[in-house]
């Protein structure tokens, strides 16, 4: 750092370095998670369920830390975008959650740049403020940050959900599903031995779009629910629905419209998160949308 640099310049530099390191760690953990998931699928396929149940906890913990790093990255981007507000002597209410969450989480992570940011914040706001944030005395730290940093074994439902999701992703038949026998076939009544039941009256309906569809040989009736689902899943439609990615809070995310579950389209991979060039100041509206998405998980 050049001599005479102001406090604001120092903290902005460290925030940019922290964002770059957080992104790099997330990419590293994502690649490692793919390898671990593939190994879990092989264990399930070979019937080693007990071993997979124990080892999958490492994957769960890694995912929790990745989600924490994503939140801390957003907080750093928020402070960088609103850095002008940090010139005031007191903490701005719009930055209090981000500042206290970073101070609370920095000593519990492997990101050294966050520790430097924490030291600079301590120089600015004082020792008492840092101690209050470290102990979360005012409950200003984000609840999800506190929960993801807590050391406790994962719930059995979460472990089971992870194993089922890994098995589904890699095409492993687990848990084993019993093959049910087909339903018995019943013969229609004939004239010689009627069943005694009353025949239902068939009411003719005017030929509409559904009947025309059947007459063409499509074989599907375009009910309103199916129309809505087909419109959303049609690649030519201007409206696309991207289901949320699985998280530790929601292992099996689904998108439904009414009673119809919408399946992810083949173009889902094109909606990956785009990283901005290092050193650029993020857009406020984009940050607000990403924070809202995190709160919905």
Q: Give yes or no for a contact between 57 and 159, defined as CB atoms under 8 angstroms apart.
A: yes
Give the pLDDT of residue 246: 76
Q: What residue numbers bound the domain in which 23 lies?
A: 7-173
Which of 62, 37, 50 has its CA nearest to residue 167?
37
What's the token pair of residue 130? 């840092």
Give the pLDDT of residue 203: 47
Give the pLDDT of residue 177: 73
160 lies in the same domain as 40: yes
83 lies in the same domain as 147: yes
Task: Choose the final residue of a domain: 116, 150, 173.
Answer: 173
105 lies in the same domain as 236: no
pLDDT along the chain (297 residues), means of 10: 72 98 97 96 95 96 97 98 94 96 97 97 96 96 96 94 95 80 54 51 49 51 51 52 72 67 53 53 72 69
49 lies in the same domain as 141: yes
155 lies in the same domain as 25: yes
Report the CATH number at residue 30: 1.20.1260.60
- Residue 291 located in a structural domain: no
129 lies in the same domain as 245: no
Give the pLDDT of residue 2: 46
Q: Give yes or no for a contact between 269 and 243, defined as CB atoms under 8 angstroms apart.
A: no
In the chain, how many domains are there?
A: 2
38 lies in the same domain as 160: yes
Q: Give yes or no for a contact between 100 and 46, defined as CB atoms under 8 angstroms apart.
A: no
Residue holding tokens 């589904």? 168
- Residue 73 located in a structural domain: yes
The rounded Cα 266 to chain-centroid distance in angstroms is 18
19 lies in the same domain as 73: yes
């Amino acid at each position: 750092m050049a001599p005479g640099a102001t406090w604001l310049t120092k903290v902005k530099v460290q925030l940019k370095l922290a964002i770059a390191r957080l992104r790099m760690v997330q990419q590293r953990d994502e690649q490692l998670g793919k390898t671990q998931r593939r190994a879990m699928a092989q264990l399930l396929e070979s019937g080693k369920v007990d071993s997979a149940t124990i080892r999958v906890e490492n994957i769960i913990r890694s995912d929790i830390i990745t989600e924490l790093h994503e939140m801390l990255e957003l907080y750093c981007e928020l402070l960088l975008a609103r850095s002008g507000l940090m010139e005031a002597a007191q903490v701005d209410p719009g930055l209090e959650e981000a500042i206290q969450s970073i101070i609370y989480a920095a000593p519990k992570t492997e990101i050294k740049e966050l520790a430097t940011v924490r030291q600079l914040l301590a120089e600015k706001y004082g020792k008492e403020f840092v101690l209050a944030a470290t102990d979360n005395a005012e409950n200003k730290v984000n609840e999800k940050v506190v929960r993801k940093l807590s050391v406790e074994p994962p719930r059995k439902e979460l472990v089971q959900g992870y194993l089922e999701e890994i098995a589904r992703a890699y095409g492993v038949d687990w848990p084993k599903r019993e093959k049910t026998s087909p339903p018995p076939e019943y013969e229609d009544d004939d004239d010689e031995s009627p069943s005694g039941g009353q025949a239902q009256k068939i009411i003719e309906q005017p030929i509409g779009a559904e009947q025309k569809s059947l007459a063409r040989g499509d074989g599907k009736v375009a009910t309103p629910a199916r129309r809505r689902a087909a419109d959303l899943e049609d690649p030519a439609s201007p409206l696309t629905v991207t289901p949320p990615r699985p998280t530790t809070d929601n292992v099996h995310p689904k998108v439904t419209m009414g009673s119809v579950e919408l399946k992810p389209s083949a173009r889902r991979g094109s909606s990956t998160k785009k990283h901005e060039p290092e050193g650029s100041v993020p857009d406020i509206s984009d940050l607000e949308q990403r924070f809202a998405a995190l709160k919905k998980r």
